[in-house]
Amino acid sequence: MAQKTPETEPLQILNDFKTPKKEAIKTLNEFIDHLQFPLEEKNKQELLIKLDGLPIIRFIDIMVKDSEWASQASQETIKRIDYFLTILKKHKEDEQIKILAVPREIKLDQMSNQQLRTTLSLEYNQTKSYPKTWYKVDHMEIRPTILVRIENIKNKKDETIGQQTTRIVKEYLENTEDDIGRIVSIEPGREVAKIKCLEVPDRTQLYNYLQTKQPQWISEIPCIVNPQILIQNVKFDARDANNWIERFFIKNRLNREKRRFEMKILHHTKGIGQLRNLFIEVCPSLRELIQSRFGEMFVGLQMVHVKDYFNINLCRKCTMYGHTTTRCNKITKCPYDGEVHLNQGCPIIDQPSKWRCPNCLKFGHCAWDVDCQVYQSRLKAEIEKRNFKYTWIMN
């Protein structure tokens, strides 16, 4: 390892990232110190110029995504690095400095194979943007939630069970003098009140409070499940599911790292011809990896476009949520205006500005539009149940 004097350039320190994991943590801490972090306004410009060209964010990204590394680093270190990254990325946006560029000074042949591969693939990624069909969901505020159910409440004409429950819970919590944790909002679900808390400790505090003070209410923390993906129209033999997964890892060059990833085929439906559509549960790190590869994965000799899957049914026949077309017992409605005619016969099919969504009744989009507020609220409810922070929906 290079000896680090105060004059050591960040560049030299970075070379030590090739050293074993524990050393890498130390190196990064030293690196942050060396930058007199947090950056002071007066030397910010100079430091950013030094950083210009260093693939620092990339190096750290590689490190922090390594679960072995993460298990060795202390909470304190992770927080510090996370903060460092956030600030650095912000500076980068502010100053338009190309921190991510590969500098000529760093020789690619000095990198380990893994670093080289990741660096090159990230370089390639930069020139490419996410598919047009994907959409952003980073505006969604996902909060730790408690669901409260109160028994023996019946639906009324003007107030659903959820609305009544929400009203009762709000009244009760508004009137308490106790410290119950920080609540962001209380919203009605179908048959529950959803209490959104600021942070996880606030939720724990409120949950314990409700358990003690209102034991007759059924308070629960919703169970969180892994992300799910959909892979359409691939060869699949249900008797050989394990082998399918094994080959998926090999074809996507994940075999060496497969201990880090988990996937489980939940069910499958008929696709085109003999092909099947697979509904797969994946661990958060695999979901992340698929996104970083633009949803393009390999199954056998075929490249597929992986999609996220959520349990949201939108009926293609009556355009309503909550059931599938095969179970629909309602009248066929047009997705462009909600009228009773087949959509091929819709008089305004070519005039999107006149479309009127039958679900939210707003003009300018049709029932299938992902921007529809009814869809967005259903999607949010699904995302809240997932063990993954979605920024994009792979669609």
Strand partners, 277: 269
- Judged by beta carbon, residue 80 or residue 323, the one nearer Zn ion is 323
Give me the helices (H) in the chain, please: 10-15, 21-34, 41-51, 56-64, 67-72, 75-95, 113-126, 161-175, 200-213, 241-251, 284-292, 373-383
Strand partners, 197: 183
Residue 315 is a binding residue for Zn ion (CB under 5 A): yes
Among 137, 146, 346, 394, binds Zn ion (CB under 5 A): 346
Residue 47 is a binding residue for Zn ion (CB under 5 A): no
Please name which of 239, 293, 289, 292 lies closest in space to residue 263, comparing C-alpha atoms. 289
Asked whether 137 and 92 are in contact (CB, 8 A), the reply is no
* Contacts with Zn ion, 64-103, as mask; x by CB under 5 A: ----------------------------------------
Residue 372 beta carbon to Zn ion: minimum distance, rounded to whole angstroms? 3
Residue 378 is a binding residue for Zn ion (CB under 5 A): no
- Judged by beta carbon, residue 9 or residue 339, the one nearer Zn ion is 339
- Judged by beta carbon, residue 290 or residue 318, the one nearer Zn ion is 318
Residue 375 beta carbon to Zn ion: minimum distance, rounded to whole angstroms? 7
Asked whether 389 and 142 are in contact (CB, 8 A), the reply is yes
Residue 350 beta carbon to Zn ion: minimum distance, rounded to whole angstroms? 11
- Judged by beta carbon, residue 21 or residue 317, the one nearer Zn ion is 317
Other C-beta atoms within 10 Å of 276: how many?
A: 20
Among 306, 334, 383, 394, binds Zn ion (CB under 5 A): 334
Residue 372 is a binding residue for Zn ion (CB under 5 A): yes
In angstroms, the CA 133 to CA 392 distance is: 10
Among 62, 146, 318, 379, binds Zn ion (CB under 5 A): 318
User: b or e along 173-188 (b: 16 or more beta carbons within 10 Å of the residue's beta carbon)?
Assistant: beeeeeebbebeebeb
The helix (H) or strand (E) run that includes residue 326 is none
- Binding residues (CB under 5 A) for Zn ion: these are 315, 317-318, 328, 330, 334, 336-337, 339, 346, 357, 359-360, 372
